[in-house]
Structure 1
Amino acid sequence: MPLEIVTIPCLGDNYAYLVHDAATGATAVVDAPEAAPIAAALADRGWRLTDILVTHHHHDHVGGVEPLRSAHGARVVGAASDAHRLPPLDLAVAEGDTVTIGGETGHVLDVWGHTVGHIAYHFPASGAVFTADSLMALGCGRVFEGTAEMMWASLGKLAALPPETLVFSGHEYTATNGRFALTIEPDNPALLARVEDVAARRAAGQPTVPSRLSEELATNPFLRAGRPEVKEAVGMAGAADAAVFGEIRGRKDRF
Structure 2
Amino acid sequence: MKIEPIKAFTDNYIWALHHPTQQRLCVVDPGDSQPVFDYLEEHQLKLDSILITHYHNDHIGGVKALKQATGARVYGSVHDNLDFVDEALNEPESIVIFDDQYQFEILHVPGHTLGHIAYYEPHRQWLFCGDTLFKAGCGRMFEGEPKQFYQSLQKLAQLPPQTQVYCTHEYTLSNLAFAESVEPDNQVVKQLIAESQQRRKQQQATLPSTIASELASNPFLRCDQAPVIKAAHSADPAAKHDWQIFATIRRLKDNF
Residue 200 in 1 paired to residue 217 in 2?
Answer: no
Quote the RMSD (CA, aligned, Å): 1.5
Give 1:10's aligned residue.
Answer: 8
Which amino acid counterpart does residue 145 of structure 2 have in structure 1? T
Q: How much has 1:123 moved relative to structure 2? A: 1.1
Contact 1:21–1:101 (8 Å) recurs in 2? no
Q: Measure the CA separation in 1 of the matches of 2:113 and 2:152.
A: 11
Q: Measure the CA separation in 1 of the matches of 2:45 and 2:121.
A: 20
Give 2:71's aligned residue.
Answer: 73
Structure 1 residues 35, 87: CA separation in 2 closer, same or farther (over 3 Å shift)? farther
Which amino acid counterpart does residue 96 of structure 2 have in structure 1? T
Q: Measure the CA separation in 2 of the matches of 1:143 and 1:238.
A: 18
Q: How much has 1:165 moved relative to structure 2? A: 0.8
Q: Measure the CA separation in 1 of the matches of 2:69 and 2:174.
A: 36
Q: How much has 1:238 moved relative to structure 2? A: 8.1
CA deviation vs aligned residue, 1:180-206 (integer Å, no higher than 9, x gap): 111100000111111111111111111
Q: Measure the CA separation in 1 of the matches of 2:248 and 2:37.
A: 41
Out of 34, 37, 49, the residue aligned to residue 36 of structure 1 is 34
What SS does the corresponding residue of 1:100 show, helix, strand or coil?
strand
Contact 1:26–1:49 (8 Å) recurs in 2? yes
How many correspondences in the alignment? 251
What SS does the corresponding residue of 2:92 show, helix, strand or coil?
coil
Q: Measure the CA separation in 2 of the matches of 1:40 and 1:87.
A: 25
Q: TM-score, normalising length from structure 2?
A: 0.94
Residue 95 in 1 paired to residue 87 in 2?
Answer: no
What SS does the corresponding residue of 1:234 show, helix, strand or coil?
helix
Give 1:176's aligned residue.
Answer: 174
Contact 2:75–2:88 (8 Å) recurs in 1? yes
Q: How much has 1:231 moved relative to structure 2? A: 1.1
Contact 2:239–2:245 (8 Å) recurs in 1? no
Query: Which consecutive aligned stretches of 4+ in structure 1 deviate over 3 angstroms post-superposition?
Result: 23-26
Instruction: Structure 2: give runs of 5+ residues left out of the alignment.
Output: none
Residue 148 in 1 paired to residue 146 in 2?
Answer: yes
What SS does the corresponding residue of 1:81 show, helix, strand or coil?
coil
What SS does the corresponding residue of 2:113 show, helix, strand or coil?
coil
| More off after superposition, 37-46 vs 110-119 | 37-46
Give the 5 Å matches for 1:43-54: 43-54=41-52
What SS does the corresponding residue of 2:14 show, helix, strand or coil?
strand
Q: TM-score, normalising length from structure 1?
A: 0.94
